[in-house]
Chains A and B, each alone.
Chain A
Amino acid sequence: MATADVKSTVPHMDMDRGGAFDFSNCIRNQAMCKMGGKAPKLTSTGTTIVAVAFKGGLVMGADSRATAGNIIADKHCEKVHKLTESIYACGAGTAADLDQVTKMLSGNLRLLELNTGRKARVITALRQAKQHLFNYQGYIGAYLLIGGVDPTGPHLYMCSANGTTMAFPFTAQGSGSYAAITILERDFKVDMTKDEAEKLVQRALEAGMHGDNASGNSLNLVIIEPSETVFKGPIVPEFCKRPEPNDLVYKFQAGATKVLKHKTYKYDVVESMDITH
C-alpha cells in the first residue's frame, strides 16, 4: 500500500513527464555563460563510421574512441548500436544524443515488431530518426548511418542531425570520414563479396583512425545478411597498439598510504545469483 500511496503522488512531482526535455535550467545556464563561465565539454564521438553494401547484405563499422575536448573519455565505447536483430545504426556527433536516440529507436521498433508480428523495415527506422531530428531542428546532435536487411533487401541510409536523409551504396560519417571516404571511393565495387566488403570497411576505418585524432583505439564491425547478423570486435589495428608493453609494475605495499581515520561498515551478505542470462 505504501507503493500505491507513492504512485498516486508521483505524477504531481517532477518525475514521469513522459520523457520530455526539461528546460528549467536554460535561462540560468545561458546567464552563467554570459557572465564568462565556460560551458562544460560534452562527450563527442569524434568518429569514423563506415558502411558498405555488398551483394545481399551490408557491413557497418565504427572506431571506439569517445572524446571530451582533448581527453579520450572512453577508449572502448560502442558506436555500433543495435536497433533490431537485422537493423543497426552507427552514430557520430554528441555521444549522449546518439545513445538516447538509438535507445528510443530500438524501443519503438521492437514495439512495432511485437504489435505487427513482422520484422521492422530499415525505412521505418530512418523515418522515425528523421522526423525526430527534424523536430529538434539540429539541436540534437546525432549524425547516423542506419542500415540493415529487411524483407525488401539490404538498405543503407545516412541521417544527419537536421533531418536530411540520403540513400547510399557506401558512405562514411564523422570527423574521420574524409580519410575513410577516399578509400571507399577508390576501392568500392558494385556487388562485392562479403569478404571484400568487410576488408574494405576495415581499411576505410583504419584510414580514418590513422588520419583523425578524434578516432582510434579499436574498431567494431557488424555484418548483416538476410540469414544472420555477425558482430566482430573489438579489433585493434597494429598502429593502435601501445608501442611497447610496460614492464614496470607499480605495486604499493599494504599500508603505504597514511590513513588518518578509518571506519568500517559491515552489512548482511545477501547471496544471490546472476539471472541476467
Chain B
Amino acid sequence: MSIMSYTGGTVVAMAGDECVCIASDLRIGEQMTTIATDQKKVHKVTDKVYVGLAGFQSDARTVLEKIMFRKNLYELRENRNIKPQVLSEMISNLAYQHRFGSYFTEPLVAGLDDTNKPYICCMDTIGCVSAPRDFVAVGTGQEYLLGVCENFWRENMKPDELFEATAQSILSCLERDAASGWGAVVYTITKDKVNVSTIKARMD
C-alpha cells in the first residue's frame, strides 16, 4: 500500500469569479480502519488564503507547522499579508528542500490575491507546482475528482454556484473512494467573507 493512502483523505479546490472554493473530507484512518471523523485537511493561512494538505497526515501536520512558521516570518519581514502565489512558491521551495527525503503530503493552495483574483494550485510531494485556471485535487480521491470536476466546472461561477459544484464534486468522489469520507467541509472564499459549510455525506 502506498504511504500516500495510509491515512486517506482528499482535498479539492475550484476557482470562480472573484471567489474560490476549497473542500476536504473529514476522515483519518489507519489503512482501512477509521480512526477519526472530524479532521479537516484544509487550514487557514490568512483571511483569504487557505492551504490543503492531503496524504500522510503525520507529515501533513509537520509541514503545516513549517508553512505557518515561514508565513509568519514573511509577514513580519514584509509587513503585509501573504499572497497565495507567494505562499505556493514558499511551500514549493520548502517541499523541494526535502527533494531526496520528502514529506508524504501533497499541498494545495487556494485563495484570493490582493486584487481578489482567484488562485489555486497543487503540488506533488517534492514541490512541482501546477496552477491551472479551473480546478485542482489532491489525495486518495484525486482521480475521481479530476474526472467529475471536468464536467462540473464552468467559467466564471458565482460563490453559491461554485459552492454547489465543489460540494457535489467531493460528494461524488466520496461515493467511490473508500479511503475518504465521513463528511466533508467546504470553504467558500469571497472578497469580504468566507463561508464554512459542513455538508452531509456518506457515513460509512
Contacts and interface: CB of A to CB of B under 8 A. Distances in A.
B124 A96 contact: yes
A258 interface: yes
Nearest to B171: A257
Contacts of B125: 40, 42
A95 B73 CA distance: 28
B200 A258 contact: yes
- Scoring B1, B79, B104 by chain A CB atoms within 10 A of each residue's CB, the highest score goes to B104
A274 B199 CA distance: 35
Given A38-B1, A249-B154, A262 B195 contact: yes
Interface in A246-277: 246, 248-254, 256-267, 269-270, 272-274
B196 A264 contact: yes
B195 A263 contact: yes
A177 to B, nearest CB: 21
Contacts of B47: 265, 267
A151 B72 CA distance: 45
Interface in B97-145: 97-104, 106, 114-115, 117, 124-130, 132, 142-143
Given A3-B77, A40-B102, A261 B124 contact: no
A269 B79 CA distance: 17
Given A19-B97, A40-B2, A10 B73 contact: yes
Given A74-B130, A267-B47, A274-B115, A21 B99 contact: yes
A51 B85 CA distance: 31
Interface in B150-204: 151-152, 154, 160-161, 163-165, 167-168, 171, 183, 191-200
Nearest to A259: B197
Contacts of A7: 77
Contact of B124 (A23, A25, A73): A73
Given A3-B76, A96-B96, A248 B196 contact: no
A137 B144 CA distance: 38
Nearest to A139: B100
B9 interface: no
A6 interface: yes
Given A66-B130, A259-B198, A252 B165 contact: yes
A24 B77 contact: no
A166 to B, nearest CB: 26
B149 to A, nearest CB: 10
A24 B4 contact: no
Given A24-B101, A37-B1, A256-B168, A76 B127 contact: no
Given A257-B171, A262-B196, A267-B192, A6 B76 contact: yes
Contact of B101 (A25, A249, A264): A25
Given A252-B168, A257-B164, A257-B168, A40 B124 contact: yes
Nearest to B122: A73
A100 interface: yes
A77 interface: yes
Contacts of B124: 40-43, 68, 73, 95-96
A33 to B, nearest CB: 8
- Scoring B128, B129, B142, B161 by chain A CB atoms within 10 A of each residue's CB, the highest score goes to B128
A265 B99 contact: no
Nearest to B4: A40
Contacts of A13: 69
Contacts of B73: 6, 10, 15
9 shortest A-B CB distances, which residue pairs?
A: A25-B101, A26-B101, A96-B128, A74-B130, A252-B164, A37-B3, A95-B128, A257-B167, A38-B2
Given A22-B98, A257-B199, 14 more contacts: A6-B73, A15-B73, A23-B101, A38-B1, A43-B130, A66-B128, A66-B130, A73-B124, A96-B92, A252-B161, A256-B168, A257-B167, A262-B195, A267-B192
Interface of B: 1-4, 6, 47-48, 55, 66, 69-70, 73, 76-77, 79, 92, 95-104, 106, 114-115, 117, 124-130, 132, 142-143, 146, 151-152, 154, 160-161, 163-165, 167-168, 171, 183, 191-200
10 contacts: A3-B76, A29-B101, A37-B6, A38-B3, A40-B106, A96-B99, A96-B127, A250-B168, A256-B168, A270-B114
